[in-house]
Amino acid sequence: MSIRFTTRVGRGLVAWPIAIGLALGVAGCGGGGDDDKPDASATSSESSESKPDVQEGDSGEVLAELKGPSGLFLKVSSAQRDAGGFVTVNGDLKNDGDKAVNVPAQLSGNETEIIRNGKSLGGATLVDPKGKKRYYVLRDTEGRPLTTTQFQPLKAGESLPVFMQFPAPPANATEVTLQLPMFTPGAIEISG
Question: What phi, psi does 28 have (nearest 5°)?
Answer: -70, -15
- 139 within 8 A of 146, measured Cβ to Cβ: yes
Q: What is the pLDDT of residue 44?
A: 38
113 by Cβ neighbours in 10 Å (0-12 / 13-18 / 19+) ranks as middle
pLDDT of residue 60: 64
pLDDT tens for each residue of 130-156 = 999 999 999 999 889 999 998 899 999
Q: Are 82 and 97 in contact (CB under 8 A)?
A: no
pLDDT beneath 70, residues of the chain: 1-60
Contact present, 111 and 118 (Cβ < 8 Å): no
* pTM, 2 dp: 0.68
DSSP annotation string for the chain: ------SHHHHHHHHHHHHHHHHHHHHHT--SGGGGS-STT------TT--PPP---TTS--SEEEE-GGGEEEEEEEEEE-TTSEEEEEEEEEE-SSS-BPPPGGGG-S-HHHHTT-SBSTT-EEEETTTTEEEEPPB-TTS-BSB-B-PPPBPTT-EEEEEEEEEPPPTT--EEEEE-TTS--EEEE-B-
pLDDT value of residue 164: 97
Cβ neighbours for 64, distance < 8 A, ≥ 6 positions apart: 75, 76, 178, 186, 187, 188
- For residue range 13-26, list pLDDT tens digits in order: 444 344 444 343 43
